[in-house]
Amino acid sequence: MAKIPTKWLISANKSFDTVRAFNELKTLDWNQGMYKLEEGDIVYIYLGKPIQKIRLKCKVVKANMATSDIDDRKYITGITDEELEEEFVESYGNSMRLTVLSEFVESDLFGAKALAEHGVRGQIRTPRKITEEVLDYIEQIDAEENTLKKFSKNRVIINELARVNTETILEDEKIDSEEVVGKEREILTKARVNQSRFRQKLLERYDGCAICGMNMSDLLVASHIKPWAESSAKEKTSVENGLLLCPNHDKLFDKGYIAFENDGSVLISSLISKENYDLLGIDEDMKIELTEANVPYIEYHRKNKHIW
Ligand SMILES: [Zn+2]
């Protein structure tokens, strides 16, 4: 069986225009130092200030090269022409050849803060192997980003779909397309299975929308209380982090127009004028049933998402 490639997180040199270089050349040679990267490994490249995000995903196509023959000097920034002349591409030392697979531009989910929350410790400097916990997050966001990009012709609708049904709808289409292979298919399938289990568990718990009772299962949304993207792997699939909602109430809840007290009483944003209450199917006396284990999530949503 083929070896599963190791995933690495590395940071880019500030005085090198990494994004432009990869966009134009596609393949670059990179100082590998003493790190044991191997052909086939995956490298996520983190850009420091002011971007502070994982921006690129690359594949190691060759490792442990003594010299480099790709001239990328023109992407070095903040250097005089004379100094540039003296820079030798061969001077890298032990090098690896990286080919860019994708660029992440869609979301902030690869930002420094989100990464720290999902287990990336300390400053990202030298190459490091990505731990299981971090990898789970990175691969989910990776899959989501690629899917969004692929369907980006109609970005507004796509974002909406991705949000409403997290990844299910899009992943279905993607998994069925032939270009998805191997590990990626496995990850997408896992995400789809997780999401459909999550929905199944909510359908078993509720008879209809947790707020109004609307019970057309085809239209009911398995809504994450603490948003999917902000949740840990465990929270993403926990039934306690879910509410079954009709599209209308899901939207209001997801956008933070409504939230709930720990006892289930509704909070309605002051941005909704009273004449819209009936039209939106809300009133100040509404109350939903919550389990004890729902409460931390409800609290998170109220504190972080509710528009007061
Ligand atoms: Zn409803």
Q: Where are the domains of the chain?
A: 7-130, 152-304
Residue 162 near residue 48, CB atoms below 8 Å: no
Query: In the predicted model, is pLDDT for residue 163 greater than 70?
Result: no
User: What is each CA distance from 204 to 17, 195, 253, in whole angstroms?
Assistant: 52, 14, 21
Higher per-residue pLDDT: 183 or 73: 73
pLDDT band at 91 (very low <50, low <70, confident <90, very high): low
Q: Separation of 235 CA from ligand 1 center, angstroms? A: 23
Ligand 1 centre to CA of 225 (Å) is 15
- Helix H or strand E encompassing 31: strand 27-31
CB 243 within 8 A of CB 223: yes
Average pLDDT of the residues of the chain: 81
Cα 213 to ligand 1 centre (Å):
6
305 Cα–ligand 1 center, Å:
19
- Give me ligand 1 centre to Cα 252, in Å: 10
Position 271 confidence tier, pLDDT thresholds 50, 70, 90 = very high
Separation of CA 246 and ligand 1 centre (Å)? 4
**Predicted local confidence at residue 68, as pLDDT:** 79
Per-residue pLDDT tens over the stretch 13-64: 778 888 888 988 889 988 888 888 999 999 999 888 777 888 889 999 999 9
* CA Rg value for the chain: 23
* Ligand 1 centroid from CA 73, angstroms: 59
* Ligand 1 centroid, distance to 71 Cα (angstroms): 60
Compute, in angstroms, the gap from residue 70 CA to the centroid of ligand 1.
Answer: 59
Band (pLDDT 50/70/90 cuts) for residue 227 is very high
Average pLDDT over residues 275-280: 95
The 3-state DSSP class for residue 2 equals: coil
State the CB neighbour count (10 A cutoff) for residue 217.
10
What is the rounded end-to-end Cα distance, in angstroms, of the chain?
55
7-130, CATH topology level: ph1033 like fold (3.10.590)
> How confident is residue 206, by pLDDT bands cut at 50, 70 and 90?
very high
- At 276, the pLDDT band (50, 70, 90 cuts) reads very high
